[in-house]
Amino acid sequence: MVENNRPVYKYQLGMVECAVWAKQASDGKPYFQFSFQKTYKSKDGKYLHATSFNKADLPLLATLCQRACLAEISKQSVDPRSVQEPQAEEDVPF
């Protein structure tokens, strides 16, 4: 199993983020796994993270899914273990 505490890629739009993780199947074949989260500010001013989304987040999630999918397709021949640091992306204004 690929041991990695950090995602190999990150895509962010506003407060919604997609993280791409390098994994390895039991047969040794590498693959990517995707997670999504939203950052929000609590009533006491602390920044927290959630993995549930509201209707307003859906267009952002759809765009992030599309970006991650296109990146996965274009990098299928790349071993995810060879990727060094997460790639920062700029927010896309809506």
Q: Is residue 54 part of a domain?
A: yes
The total number of structural domains in the chain stands at 1
Q: Is residue 3 part of a domain?
A: no
DSSP 78: S
* Dist. CA 71–CA 58, nearest whole Å: 20
92 band by pLDDT with thresholds 50, 70 and 90: very low
Q: Is the pLDDT of residue 69 over 60?
A: yes
**pLDDT tens, residue by residue, 11-60:** 999 999 999 888 889 998 888 889 999 999 999 999 999 999 999 999 99
Q: Is residue 36 part of a domain?
A: yes
Query: What is the extent of the structural domain holding 59?
Result: 9-77
pLDDT score of 49: 96
**Tokens 């549930």 identify what position?**
52
* Dist. CA 81–CA 91, nearest whole Å: 26
Q: Is residue 57 part of a domain?
A: yes
Q: Is residue 13 part of a domain?
A: yes
Q: Is residue 68 part of a domain?
A: yes
